[in-house]
Amino acid sequence: NAGVMQNPRHLVRRRGQEARLRCSPMKGHSHVYWYRQLPEEGLKFMVYLQKENIIDESGMPKERFSAEFPKEGPSILRIQQVVRGDSAAYFCASSPTTSGLSYEQYFGPGTRLTVT
């Protein structure tokens, strides 16, 4: 059973370009979470999605950032017009719960975004 997969592992973008980060959850998992880790800091929650629904985006910046988890395919975190401050490691996690709450979150290896 493959774990959570993220690609690309490393992404370099110039200021003003768009960054697209992909996350494929573990098989059978329908819940996806995105976290951002700035250097020397802990992981900060960004958004929680189920298939075709955004459940909680309270940690997502209001501008330039968006996330989706379509019925088919991976979850996408999209950052438009990137700035240097967006440089960070972005982690995706998935969980198996289909109802109620689960505290099990399995993390992917992360995408390291560098904005030059």
Partner 1 sequence: DQQVKQNSPSLSVQEGRISILNCDYTNSMFDYFLWYKKYPAEGPTFLISISSIKDKNEDGRFTVFLNKSAKHLSLHIVPSQPGDSAVYFCAATSYRFGQNFVFGPGTRLSVLP
Residue ranges binding partner 1 (CB under 8 A): 4, 6, 31, 33, 35, 40-45, 48, 55-56, 58-59, 91, 93, 95, 101-110
- Beta-carbon contacts of residue 99 (< 8 Å; ≥ 6 apart): none
8 A C-beta contact, residue 36 and residue 43: yes
Q: Smallest gap, in angstroms, from Cβ of residue 113 to partner 1?
A: 14
Q: For partner 1, which is the closer residue by CB, 79 or 111?
A: 111
Q: Smallest gap, in angstroms, from Cβ of residue 2 to partner 1?
A: 13
**CA-based torsion, 111, 69, 19, 8: positive or negative:** positive
Q: Smallest gap, in angstroms, from Cβ of residue 64 to partner 1?
A: 21
Q: Smallest gap, in angstroms, from Cβ of residue 78 to partner 1?
A: 20
8 A C-beta contact, residue 88 and residue 37: yes
Q: For partner 1, which is the closer residue by CB, 40 or 63?
A: 40
Q: For partner 1, which is the closer residue by CB, 64 or 107?
A: 107
What gap in Å lies between CA 31 and CA 39, rounded to an integer? 26
Task: Provide the pairing of β-strand 19-24 with 75-79.
Answer: antiparallel
